[in-house]
Amino acid sequence: MKSLLALLLFVASSAQAQQVMIHGGVPAVSPDGLHIAFLSNRSGADELFVISADGTGERRLTTTPDDKGALAWTADGKQILFATSANDTSHLYAITLDGTRLREIAKVPGRAPTLSPDETRLLYMSGTWTATRVMISAPDGSNPQPITDGLSIAWNNHWSPDGKHIAYTSRVDPQGELAIYVMNADGTGRRQLSHFTAGSGNAQWPVWSSDGQRLAIQVNRPRERDAHIWIIDATTGEARKLAAHDQPYLDETPAWFPDSKRIALQSNRTGKMEVWVMNADNSGMRQITR
């Protein structure tokens, strides 16, 4: 069984991603912007690491064989949230930055559990990868309620900063390209936000800026075997590409800094997947992990 991190990259990008060692990937930036949590399978298993945003002080926080994912931070920035998954059951944990204290928050019959910004609700996926039902529950996983019908996909669910909306990856045509959708936190008001022309690629992994005005996403082009980061206006859907390239690079899994001026991402520009940071104005691309 492939690890959750490898499966995430397979679903989120292309088969090429499976052939790249994930030395650093799926970054999550702390609320104060000083640290980046990330996953790595450099040891053969998915493990959680944290590093300063300037690329110093890398620390490994976990040493277990569990498949890991769904990285986030608690609101106070003192703990990192992550999920382990096996047999369609996930456990959500919080761990301190020095790795000394670990506590379980919830156990759910699904994947990728994520807490709302005010930590009063839990969101997760259930069902198959092609017929995904989004569930919402109490923080400990109790009282679950579906907010989508499960007739299509609903991946990469991310809360808006005010907790009122959810952005996610879906599509209307089962054979069509992926697009970014937004809905209210109760599942109403579903609308397609991204509208790329046919053949432009699969739009996915939507993450809100801290001011709630923009989303950073990735767009994968399977034929070209590449991926770019884009920024989309949360109201109009107007999109802008960042760090354009004509090489078979995978720039993926964006994560905003709290100032909404910088974005962390994973990229294989140097041959293996690493954590990078760039400015949202399309400047200053630099590698963080090595």
Return the pLDDT at 16.
Answer: 41
Return the pLDDT at 141.
Answer: 96
Residues of the chain with pLDDT under 50: 1-4, 6-19
- Nearest-angstrom CA–CA distance, 188 and 149: 11
Print the domain residue range for 166: 4-287
Q: What is the pLDDT of residues 93-125, one digit of tens each?
A: 999 999 999 999 999 999 999 999 999 999 999
Return the pLDDT at 104.
Answer: 97
- CATH of residue 15's domain is 2.120.10.30
Return the pLDDT at 20.
Answer: 55
Domains in the chain, number? 1
Return the pLDDT at 21.
Answer: 80
